[in-house]
């Protein structure tokens, strides 16, 4: 049995989450795997109902689960609260810290039927795009100490630090993932300038001896930024530190041309994970049954792959989505006016995907 803490959150969160559950129920039937869902409040709705964006009961629900399926949090109603009480800062960051989610996984995939939505001309992505980022999430310059501003506020200081065990554990996950894909890892660093990058490069090179069936390449972060917009198809799995991964994965996300299509995962050493779309709560379209549920459904697919080890079921979902898009079904955000595409609502998209499983 798989125990899932379901945290739909705010805005479009609940509507797209319903579709993810619909698809998971279909997977459950087909693969004879039972899922138990426990719903809990998080974000703005938790502030309204319990006075805090991350109530203790919600944390307990997550502790009793194998994975968290997260929607998104925030919205205009809570925007003027102090930063630590804001839905995103007050819920997501503490959850990541509490569960030691050190590895952020972000697939950047352009489904073939959506190639024209990319910010790149089709000639740069002749075979579409299918990259996965493994970004270290709990170390590096965002957390290194000392981190301070001088009393007269004229000097700011951050510390970029990485140690061998931190590099080793994320690199292992990247190599393992590459084995399920095209067996190619690119490690991104700045080893020509940064000491912690030298340790990064040496550590992953040493670990590579255990993964000699996987090809390992190294690239400086400035070159990686250029290559991502010049020839992104050369990449398969990219592994990198916290800040480099933050910047590069956002730039790469834009290559796909649609926020409503991108999932992400943050996992820890015991494969417990928080799975969520990279987009926000889309308050402009919330409650209208027009949001694109695909990112949320793909987040559920990542959960099957990384927490439950159900790679075949995850591929099943991804293929179902590709097939539906191939047949011309689109939600408003990816619909081309004047085309012969079929415009569908959020729940219809959920029905179409689950019918294909
Ligand atoms: P957003 O991602 O919510 O929306 C940006 C644009 O993309 C909007 O036009 C929206 O309609 C569209 N969009 C996003 N997801 C979509 C989907 N699934 N289907 C169709 N269209 C979609 O970003 P924003 O407007 O900057 O933020 C809105 C709120 O979400 C803010 O309160 C912000 O703090 C919060 N937010 C939360 C998270 C999170 O929970 N992880 C992440 C980003 C933003």
CB 171 within 8 A of CB 210: no
Give the pLDDT score at 30: 98
| Predicted TM-score of the model (pTM) | 0.94
Q: How far is the CA of 297 from the centre of ligand 1 (A)?
A: 16
Q: How far is the CA of 54 from the centre of ligand 1 (A)?
A: 20
In terms of Cβ atoms closer than 10 Å to its own Cβ (0-12, 13-18, 19+), residue 175 is buried
Q: Please give the helix or strand (H or E) that residue 277 lies within, else none.
A: strand 273-277
Ligand 1 proximal residues by C-beta, below 6 Å: 12, 16, 72-75, 88, 92, 259-260, 276, 279-285, 291-292, 295, 333
Q: Whose CA is nearest to atom 13 of ligand 1?
A: 282
Give the pLDDT score at 11: 98
Compute the distance between CA of residue 77 and CA of residue 283 in angstroms, rounded to an integer.
10
Count other Cβ atoms within 10 Å, centred on residue 306: 24
φ/ψ (deg, to 5) at 337: -60, 140
Give the pLDDT score at 128: 84
Q: Please give the helix or strand (H or E) that residue 106 lies within, else none.
A: strand 103-110
Compute the distance between CA of residue 315 and CA of residue 89 in angstroms, rounded to an integer.
32
What is the DSSP secondary structure assignment for residue 84, as one 8-state letter?
G
Percent of the chain past pLDDT 90, that is, above it, reads 88
What structural domains does the chain harbor? 1-102+268-357 (3.40.718.10), 119-256 (3.40.718.10)
Compute the distance between CA of residue 72 and CA of residue 152 in angstroms, rounded to an integer.
38
Q: What is the pLDDT of residues 129-146, one digit of tens each?
A: 999 999 999 999 999 999
């Amino acid at each position: 049995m798989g125990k899932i803490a379901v945290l739909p959150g705010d805005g479009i969160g609940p509507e797209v989450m319903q579709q993810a559950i619909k698809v998971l129920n279909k997977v459950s039937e087909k693969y004879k795997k039972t899922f138990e869902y426990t719903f809990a409040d998080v974000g703005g709705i938790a502030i309204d109902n319990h006075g805090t964006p991350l109530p203790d009961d919600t944390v307990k629900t997550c502790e009793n689960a194998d994975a968290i399926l997260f929607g998104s949090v925030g919205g205009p109603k809570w925007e003027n609260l102090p930063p630590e009480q804001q839905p995103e800062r007050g819920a997501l960051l503490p959850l990541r810290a509490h569960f030691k989610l050190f590895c952020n996984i972000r697939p950047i995939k352009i489904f073939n039927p959506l190639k024209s939505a990319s910010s790149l001309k089709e000639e740069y992505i002749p075979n579409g795009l299918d990259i996965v980022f493994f970004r270290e999430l709990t170390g590096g310059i965002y957390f290194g100490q000392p981190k301070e501003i001088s009393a007269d506020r004229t000097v700011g200081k951050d510390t970029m630090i990485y140690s061998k065990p931190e590099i080793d554990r994320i690199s292992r996950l990247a190599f393992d993932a590459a084995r399920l894909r095209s067996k190619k890892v690119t490690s991104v660093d700045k080893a020509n300038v940064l000491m912690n990058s030298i340790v990064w490069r040496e550590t992953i090179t040493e670990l590579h001896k255990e993964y000699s069936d996987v090809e390992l390449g190294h690239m400086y972060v400035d070159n990686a930024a250029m290559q991502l917009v010049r020839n992104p198809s050369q990449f398969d799995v990219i592994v990198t530190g916290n800040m480099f991964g933050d910047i590069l994965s956002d730039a790469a996300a834009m290559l796909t041309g649609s926020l409503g299509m991108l999932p992400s995962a943050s996992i820890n050493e015991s494969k417990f994970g928080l799975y969520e779309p990279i987009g926000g709560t889309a308050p402009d379209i919330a409650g209208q049954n027009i949001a694109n549920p695909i990112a949320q459904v793909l987040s559920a697919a990542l959960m099957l792959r990384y927490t439950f080890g159900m790679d075949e079921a995850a591929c099943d979902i991804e293929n179902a989505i590709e097939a539906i898009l191939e047949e011309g079904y689109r939600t408003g955000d990816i619909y081309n006016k004047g085309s012969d595409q079929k415009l569908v609502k959020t729940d219809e998209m959920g029905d179409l995907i689950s019918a294909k499983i």
